[in-house]
């Protein structure tokens, strides 16, 4: 098996959505390379305040493990990524529970697998330190979230 290091199940389909966890913060200048960040000015987070293993990603994240698993189940059928996220948020009465985000995060443990055509999605807990908004990168208090990484099954 080979792990595809993308966070996105449907990154380009959910561009307008964000999760409820990202409502406040300070500016952080985070370049688009994995694990890189740079300090600019007094109002940004100092590089020493961010973990050295920080990664950047764009994809669907949810507030709970159950929400991301439900999202993955719904997205396998004829449902679009946006419809799947909206359905999860409606079912859980959590308007911002699942959505699309550009984030700076530290990856945690793999928690579960969901079978999908061509492979599996590994549910993983992440700790988010910043998110990109239309005003730039916003630092937040470290916030646990859940996402999934695609593991492609190698052809025999």
Residues constituting the chain? 156
The domain of 100 spans: 2-152
DSSP codes of every residue in the chain:
-EE-----SSGGG-TT---TT-S--EE-B--SSTT--B--STTSPPGGGS-TT-EEEEEEEESSHHHHHHHHHHHTTT--HHHHHHHHHHHTT-TTSEEEEEEEEEEEEEEEEEEETTEEEEEEEEEEEEEEETTEEEEEEEEEEEEEEEEEPPP-
Query: Which of 76-80, 89-93, 132-136 comes out lowest in average pLDDT?
Result: 76-80
Highest mean pLDDT among 20-24, 37-41, 121-125: 121-125
Q: Where is pLDDT greater, at 31 or 125?
A: 125
Q: Where is pLDDT greater, at 154 or 128?
A: 128
Q: How many CB atoms lie within 10 A of CB 72?
A: 23
Query: Hey, what are 101's tokens?
Result: 């985000």
The pTM score is: 0.69
Average pLDDT over residues 9-33: 33
Q: How many CB atoms lie within 10 A of CB 108?
A: 13
- Residue 21 to residue 133: CA distance in whole angstroms: 13
The pLDDT score that the predictor gives to residue 141 is 94
Q: How confident is the model at residue 70 (pLDDT cuts 50, 70, 90)?
A: very high
Place of tokens 């507030």: 63
Number of structural domains found in the chain: 1
* pLDDT tens, position by position, 96-107: 999 999 999 999
The pLDDT score that the predictor gives to residue 116 is 86
């Amino acid at each position: 098996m080979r792990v595809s290091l993308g966070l996105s199940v449907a990154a380009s389909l959910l561009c307008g959505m964000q999760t409820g966890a990202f409502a406040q913060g300070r500016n952080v200048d985070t370049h688009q390379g994995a694990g890189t960040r740079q300090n600019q000015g007094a109002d940004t987070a100092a590089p020493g305040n961010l973990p050295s293993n920080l990664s950047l990603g764009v994809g669907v994240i949810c507030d709970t493990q159950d929400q991301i698993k439900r999202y993955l189940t719904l997205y396998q059928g004829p449902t679009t990524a946006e419809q799947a996220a909206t359905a999860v948020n409606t079912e859980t009465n959590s308007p911002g529970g699942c959505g699309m985000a550009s984030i700076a995060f530290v990856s945690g443990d793999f928690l579960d697998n969901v079978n999908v055509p061509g492979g599996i999605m590994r549910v993983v807990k992440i700790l988010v330190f910043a998110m990109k908004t239309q005003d730039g990168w916003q630092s937040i208090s470290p916030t646990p979230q859940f996402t999934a990484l695609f593991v492609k099954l190698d052809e025999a």
